[in-house]
Amino acid sequence: MSGPEILIIIIVALLLFGADKLPDIAKTLGKGMRDFRDATDEIRRELESSASEVREVTKSITKEVTDFSDKMTKDVKEVANSITKDVTDFSDKITKDVNEVANSVSADLKNVTSEIKSEVEGVTKTVQSDSAATAENLKSDESPKPEPVEQYDYTDDQFDDYNYMG
């Protein structure tokens, strides 16, 4: 509000209430404005106090949530590390067992292979010596071949006579 507007309001108030009542009205109006300002300040203080309490509660809740989250994260990491360790140990044990079985099978395979080679060599030597001996026998055996035996055609009568002779 500007100066002329305030002046017009004062003149109208003076005309309506008179000069006697104007100081009382101004006093009452001032007191009302002061009460209004005090009430406004009190509301502001209450709002600030409530906001401060809300901030404290928010901080407290945030701290509790953060602490709980940190605890849960720590617990999850511990469980994950434990599971990882168990899986690694189990995997290492399986790998060790598989390697032992593979080594055992490999050793058995080598032994069987060695035995088979030994048997094959023995059979080969036997066959070679037998074939050499047979070849020698065939070369040294120059004896005359037996002459073929004549085949006789026996009749039933001759056969009967033969049976009676003996």
How many CB atoms are located within 10 Å of the residue 91 CB? 10
Confidence class for position 166, pLDDT limits 50, 70, 90: very low
Read off the pLDDT of residues 56-107 as tens digits, 9 standing for 90 and up: 999 999 999 999 999 999 999 999 999 999 999 999 999 999 999 999 999 9
**Token pair recorded at residue 115:** 């035995």
Closest CA to 68 of 79, 76, 57: 76
pTM here is 0.41
Torsion of CA 22, 28, 34, 40, to 10 degrees: -120
Is 133 in contact with 140 (CB distance < 8 Å)? Answer: no
Q: For the chain, how big is the Rg over CA atoms in Å?
A: 65
Confidence class for position 9, pLDDT limits 50, 70, 90: confident
